């Protein structure tokens, strides 16, 4: 499926977003900032995104024109690739949606108990095309900002999402609440131990996760 940025031509803003990178929090902020916060009372942020992009999203020619405009601010939301891989792994184990089914198609030995190790999940990632696979583990760079070498005005990091969105709001004159929608849980042992000293290398790390 195409992965389209959030675009508001009136406010001269293009935001490249990625699942498992604070996307629900970002969408909530974005729709409040452009005056559609009340719409979130009756539907989820992602349901609103689909409807809004269908109705207001520019076509390919209009999007290319926006990319060329010097007055348009380009924003990329990103996350540490290892943290995102962990978040995607958690989604695979807990989601009832298509993500687990996609893994089972590639790993038919897995059963409904979802006994899949993190290394097994990395094996799966290394077996798929990370430029075109499911959005929840597609490369963060598999978007126009990277493919076309666009000038990025601001990178918003998931690790400092509230601060970065507040700074973006000051720059653009837009304001919205920062409501953290979901957090990948960590056990007390994991939290105290910190990140692994030498995480397994994988081709996905440099650009993505």
pLDDT in tens, 118-163: 999 999 999 999 999 989 999 999 999 999 999 999 999 999 999 9
| DSSP-derived secondary structure letter, 204 | T
| DSSP-derived secondary structure letter, 108 | T
pLDDT in tens, 5-33: 999 888 889 999 999 999 989 999 999 88
Element holding 169 (H helix, E strand): helix 161-172
Helix axis angle for 118-125 and 98-106, nearest 10°, is 80
Instruction: Identify the pLDDT of residue 189.
Output: 36
Are residues 201 and 53 in contact, defined by beta-carbon separation less than 8 angstroms?
no
Q: Distance (Å, rounded) from C-alpha 130 to C-alpha 114? A: 22
Per-residue pLDDT band for 108 (boundaries 50, 70, 90) equals confident
Are residues 25 and 161 in contact, defined by beta-carbon separation less than 8 angstroms?
yes
Of the candidates 28, 34, 72, which has an alpha carbon nearest to the alpha carbon of residue 177?
28
Q: Compute the mean pLDDT over every residue in the chain, rounded to the nearest whole number.
A: 83
pLDDT in tens, 46-68: 999 998 888 888 888 889 999 99
> What's the whole-number mean pLDDT along residues 106-112?
81
Residues present in the chain in total: 209
Per-residue pLDDT band for 185 (boundaries 50, 70, 90) equals low
- Name the pTM for this structure: 0.82
Of the candidates 52, 38, 71, 77, which has an alpha carbon nearest to the alpha carbon of residue 168?
77
| For the chain, percent of residues with pLDDT exceeding 90 | 46
* Tokens of residue 62, six digits: 């209009």
E strand spans, 73-137: 73-78
Q: Distance (Å, rounded) from C-alpha 115 to C-alpha 103? A: 12
| For the chain, percent of residues with pLDDT exceeding 70 | 84
Instruction: Identify the pLDDT of residue 203.
Output: 53
**Other C-beta atoms lying within 10 Å of the C-beta of residue 69:** 12
Q: Distance (Å, rounded) from C-alpha 151 to C-alpha 100? A: 36
123 half-sphere exposure, CB direction, 13 A CA radius: 9
């Amino acid at each position: 499926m195409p992965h389209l940025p959030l675009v508001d031509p009136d406010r001269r803003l293009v935001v490249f977003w990625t699942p498992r990178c604070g996307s629900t929090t970002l969408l909530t902020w974005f729709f409040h900032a452009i005056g559609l916060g009340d719409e979130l009372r009756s539907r989820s942020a992602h349901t609103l995104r689909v409807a809004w992009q269908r109705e207001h999203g520019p076509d390919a020619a209009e999007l290319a024109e926006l990319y060329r405009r010097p007055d348009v601010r380009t924003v990329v939301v990103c996350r540490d690739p290892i943290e995102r891989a962990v978040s995607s792994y958690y989604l695979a184990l807990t989601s009832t949606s298509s993500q687990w089914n996609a893994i089972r198609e590639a790993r038919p030995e897995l059963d409904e108990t979802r006994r899949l190790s993190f290394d097994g999940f990395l094996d799966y990632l290394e077996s798929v095309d990370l430029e075109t696979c499911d959005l929840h583990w597609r490369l963060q760079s598999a978007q126009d900002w990277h493919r076309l070498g666009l000038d990025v005005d601001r990178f918003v990091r998931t690790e400092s999402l509230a601060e970065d969105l507040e700074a973006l709001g000051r720059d653009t004159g837009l304001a919205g609440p920062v409501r953290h929608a979901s957090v990948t849980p960590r056990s007390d042992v994991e939290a105290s131990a910190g990140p692994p000293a030498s995480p397994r290398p994988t081709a996905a790390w440099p650009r993505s996760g």
